[in-house]
Every structure is written in structure tokens, then in C-alpha cells.
Amino acid sequence: MSEQYPVKSPEAREQSGRDLATLVYLIQAISLFTAVPFFIGVIINYAKRGDVRGTLAESHFRWQIRTFWFSLLWIVIGSLTWWILGLGFLILGITWVWMVYRVIRGWLTLADHRPAY
């Protein structure tokens, strides 16, 4: 006997998506000080991506995923180039500021019920 999950109303899907996006923004904000949550946030994004398709949260998930991958790229580059006259430290600092911007801007647009892009 298989039970079917109840179909969510469009309003419930929107709210659920916004709640998930808010959670990931919180996780990303925490990860500005410790890296581990950053990976948890992107796992949530990928795992729940299908659930938010067609909702406002879809653009925020894309924003959050791109924030993760570009941050990871620049963190790796910065970590590998720290020995070149401190260039890596500059790259890491700029990356951190860019991450702060992405989290704040994304979170504020979500709070205004607007798409991230």
C-alpha cells in the first residue's frame, strides 16, 4: 500500500521555498566565520532545487549556488597564491567581502519578495 504525499498549494510551495532560501542565507552568513556550514547550505540547495522550481525561491537557489561555487573557486585561488607577495590574502579578503555582499543582497531581496536576479 503506497501513500501519496498531499499536493501543496502554490502558496504553500512559495512559502516553503522562501523558508528554505532563508535557511540557506542564514547558513551562508554563519559560514563567513567557519567554512563547514557553507557545504551544508549548497547541499540543501541541490537537494531541494526541484521543490522550488517555478517559485520565487528558484532564483535565490541559483544565486546561492553560484555564490558557493564562485566563492570556492576564489578561496582555492587565494589559498594557492598567498605566497606571491601576499596576493592570496588580498584575494581571500575580496572574496570574503563579495560573499558578505551576496548574502546580504540576496537575503534582502528575498525579504522583499523579489527574485534574486
Nearest to 55 by CA among 91, 19, 83, 89: 19
| Any domain includes 4 | no
Q: Looking at per-residue confidence, does 12 or 71 come out higher?
A: 71
| The pLDDT of residue 1 is above 70 | no
CA-to-CA distance for 60 and 16, rounded, in angstroms?
13
Cell output for 103: 548574502
Would you say residue 2 lies in a domain?
no
**What pLDDT score does 9 carry?**
85
Place of cell 537557489: 61
pLDDT in tens, 25-43: 999 999 999 888 999 999 9
* Full residue range of the structural domain in which residue 37 is found: 12-111
Task: Answer yes or no: is 21 within a domain.
Answer: yes
Give me the number of domains the chain comprises.
Answer: 1
State the chain's mean pLDDT as an integer: 92
Average pLDDT on 72-97 reads 93
Is 3 a residue whose pLDDT tops 60?
Answer: no
Query: Does a structural domain hold residue 5?
Result: no
